[in-house]
Amino acid sequence: MDNIQYEIEEKYLSPYAFKSINTKGRVRPQEPSLYRTEFIRDRDRIIHCKSFRRLKHKTQVFLSPESDHYRTRLTHTLEVMQIARSIARGLRLNEDLVEAISYGHDLGHTPFGHAGERALQDFTHFEHNEQSLRVVEVLENDFLGMNLTYEVKDGILNHRQNGNPSTLEGKVVSLADRIAYINHDIDDAIRAQVLTESDLPRELSEILGHSVHERINNMIVNVINNSKDKPYVKMDEQFDSACSKLRAFLFERVYNDSEPKKEEHKAVEMLKILYQYFLSDINRLPQGYRALNAADCQKVCDYIASMTDSYSIFIFNNIFVPKGWQY
């Protein structure tokens, strides 16, 4: 193959990196690109898809904040990508594969973040990683799917902490996701005056760092130092344990019962009402969703999960809120 990118990978990447030329390929074979590897093509497809653009209007942690400086699902995705690439470069892994998985890992997230996910889980099995895979396989590109490579889809499906990706690059994204949301959720909570830096458990700060930027750097360095020239990617035991404890602290102080989270129940109830409305008459769905080869509950989940926060409110108001009239 004449594409110089494959030669560069062979020459410079770690023996443990997944080389693009070894991909298991696509469901629908395509002619190779002259200048891009298959993973570069996947990255480009994801960046240009509608689901990726919608992430800018989907909640990360705090729904509908007045300030412009809180994370959205899109800025979260960009931060995951940056952290993942830093780790991949330090370990000489395949940065293009890491980037494609990072950009695609949250495409299936509901409006209103995990609150929206909980709303759908009250009716049916719904996991955002599985929905992200469904987006790239079925829903995107006018319901033709994006025809991504096996390795990118595998990384998207297995990006959650208990996932088991088939490549080290997939594991990098899983770790980067954890590093990103722990730290930027702390940053957003401090901005929202839910926490101060001094509220964080002192023993964890002594291990991980005393600021968001210090913690992110230390976590990245720890992963690289612990995994360099190894057939695995992970933090050492001390850092991994401290990260788990910090995450548990966030659930206690931020995710479960903080002031900015108290509006979530309204979003949950709204999405439940929408779900029941569309399920009661599937013909109310847009034509493309109605025509899917899937159970009705899946079609409704596909439509609701595709919505942004603002669009779900618009649809709800359009259906259920009385409109004024004049003669």
Residue 27 in domain: no
The reply to whether 230 falls in a domain is yes
Compute mean pLDDT per 10 residues along the chain, 327 residues long, and list them. Answer: 86 97 96 94 98 96 80 97 98 98 98 95 96 98 98 97 95 98 96 95 98 98 98 98 97 86 91 98 98 98 97 97 82
CATH number at residue 170: 1.10.3210.10
In a domain, 231, yes or no: yes
Count of CB atoms situated within 10 Å of the CB of 75: 16
| Residue 296 lies inside a defined structural domain of this protein | yes
Residue 326 lies in a domain: no
* Residue 3, pLDDT score: 84
What pLDDT, on the 0 to 100 scale, is given for residue 259? 80
Contact predicate 106/283, CB 8 Å: no
Q: What is the pLDDT of residue 126?
A: 97
pLDDT at 1: 52
Query: What's the confidence (pLDDT) of residue 265?
Result: 93
Is 201 inside a domain boundary?
A: yes
What is the domain range of residue 95?
Answer: 4-21+32-315
Domain count, the chain: 1
Is residue 163 a part of any domain in this protein?
yes
Q: Give residue 227's pLDDT.
A: 98
Structural domain includes residue 327: no
Interatomic CA distance for residues 129 and 127, integer angstroms: 6
